[in-house]
Amino acid sequence: MKKLFFGVLLAGLATGAAAQNIQMTKSGKVSFYSRAKSPEKVEADNNEVSSVLNTQTGDLVFAILLKSFHFERALMEEHFNENYVESNKYPKSTFKGKIVNISSVNFSKDGAYPVTVEGELNLHGVSRQVSYTGSVIIKSGKVNATSRFSIKLKDYNVSIPSLVADKISEDIDVTVDCKYEPKS
């Protein structure tokens, strides 16, 4: 199922594009952290993020299986999947958009290039137009994309029960780190 989904993701982005312009990963990392008043850390990592980047057009897509987020404590993971993101009902989060200033990235020269990404983020069955900043880092011909941003849970209809409102912030800090490889 995961391979089929990634294949469809790639086909939708790569249509009409030369293969050398396509960079992809199936092991990107997305982490999130809730900076609540409670001393308890609410954070999770997902190292199975699929992403495809067209270096010529700037088209960029992400697919994140929500059950692939792992927490320090199993109970947090269970609550995340069952009570908050309802991962059985909404199994994945997606982003489809583009790096709007792709022409400012020199893919043949080492460096860190600031970028702006705009597109549609879908989480918990809700799609919203978003714009985030990040960096494309080129080192020895390898492409790495990073970003840090916040999302508001209420924007995606994710409810926080009052019983745990002091443990989970309404604003969630998200970190993205994807090391891409050329499509072969």
Kindly report, residue by residue over 27-38, the tens digit of the pLDDT.
999 999 987 776
Q: Look at residue 148 and give its three-state secondary structure.
A: strand
Distance CA 159, CA 70 (A): 20
Give 29's DSSP letter: E
pLDDT of 176 reads 98
Q: What share of the chain is helix, strand, coil (3-state, %, to 5)?
A: 20, 50, 30
Note the maximum CA span of the chain. Answer: 53
pLDDT of 19 reads 64
Q: Does domain 28-179 have CATH number 2.40.128.110?
A: yes
Structure tokens at 184: 């072969």
pLDDT of 4 reads 45
Domain residue ranges in the chain: 28-179
pLDDT of 6 reads 47
- Those residues of the chain that have pLDDT short of 70 are 1-19, 38
Using a 10 angstrom Cβ sphere, with 0-12 exposed, 13-18 middle and 19 or more buried, the burial of residue 26 is middle
pLDDT of 177 reads 98
Cα separation values, 8 from 13, 57, 116, 146, 154, Å: 9, 19, 25, 24, 30
